[in-house]
Amino acid sequence: MQNHLSSLSQSIFHNDIHKWRKMRLWNVVIETDSSEAFSLITVSGVDDSHLQCSLIRKCTKLLLELKCYMVHTRRIGNRCADVMAKLGGTQHEDFLVYKEPPLKISCQVQ
């Protein structure tokens, strides 16, 4: 669970936020299947003793700044998003719009 929280926080802070600012993306919805990440970033906050305290607080601040919000989704419903995230990690473009689902997720959306 700690690894998932760390990777989600680092993704929000180090990768996505800077791209969102550059592309002027506001009001973005971030879906996560991690109850812990959702709670720490949006609901209950984090205390000073948490290992990822600084990073989580930066994520919370930046999400507020960009008027983004997080929603919790069930893991089974998040399979397409997981595949898309992995595809995004290998693409060279900063931003890509698909007209049709990529072949790797065709079986997920049927």
Would you give per-residue pLDDT tens digits along the chain (110 residues)? 445 555 665 565 555 666 766 777 677 788 888 888 888 888 767 888 888 888 888 888 888 888 888 888 887 666 777 777 777 777 787 777 878 877 777 665 55
55 and 84 belong to one structural domain:
no
Q: Within 13 Å and on the Cβ side, how many CA atoms surround 55?
A: 16
Residues whose CB falls within 8 Å of the CB of residue 39, separated by 6 or more in sequence, listed in order: none
Number of domains forming the structure of the chain:
2
**Which range marks the domain in which residue 49 is found?**
1-73
Q: How many CB atoms lie within 10 A of CB 29?
A: 8
88 and 43 belong to one structural domain:
no
The pLDDT value recorded for residue 13 is 57
Q: What is the DSSP letter of 71?
A: E
The pLDDT value recorded for residue 1 is 44
1 and 48 belong to one structural domain:
yes
Question: What is the pTM for the complete model shown?
Answer: 0.52
- One-character DSSP codes across 13-48: IIIIHHHHHHHT--S-EEEE--HHHHIIIIIS---T
